[in-house]
Structure 1
């Protein structure tokens, strides 16, 4: 489970950085690497989206454990 959490977190970070590049410079790094409209680019986008959905699980886990609230009282 730990590997999946780390792998999906890395994909979410890659996706976030890609969106940052799109917003700042209108440059889509994934499309530049794999080709615009290619099947590989589409797979990367799908994996990033699924990774974001997967990362909701650890988020709610931390929020439910009280760890999140404890960190806000600092």
Structure 2
């Protein structure tokens, strides 16, 4: 589960950085790397980033339900 959380968090960050580039420079890095927005690989990356965002909603909602202070208290603690 930890590996999946790290992978999805990484993909959400990639998506966020891609949107930053789109917003600042009108440059879609994913499309540039994989052959355009309509290319199959680009579409797969977009779907994986979106699915990762949905996956990351779970820890976000959990953190919101325990309160910000309690969530911040767990920063740096590793759960196995």
TM-score range for the pair, normalised by the shorter chain length: 0.7 to 0.9
Q: Deviations over 1:8-67 (max 9, x none)?
A: 00000000000000000000000000011100000000000000000000111122233x
Where structure 1 has 5 or more consecutive residues not aligned to the other structure, the ranges are none
Higher helix share: 1
Tell me which residue corresponds to 1:63: 64
CA contact (8 A) 1:63 1:69 kept: no
Provide the aligned length of Structure 1 versus Structure 2.
70
Which one scores higher on RCO, CA 8 angstroms, separation ≥ 6? Answer: 1
> Which sections of structure 2, spanning at least 5 residues, go unmatched?
73-80
- Please list every run of at least 4 consecutive aligned residues from structure 1 whose deviation after the TM superposition is greater than 4 angstroms: none
Taking structure 1 as the reference length, the TM-score comes to: 0.87
Kept in 2: contact 1:15–1:48 (CA 8 A): yes
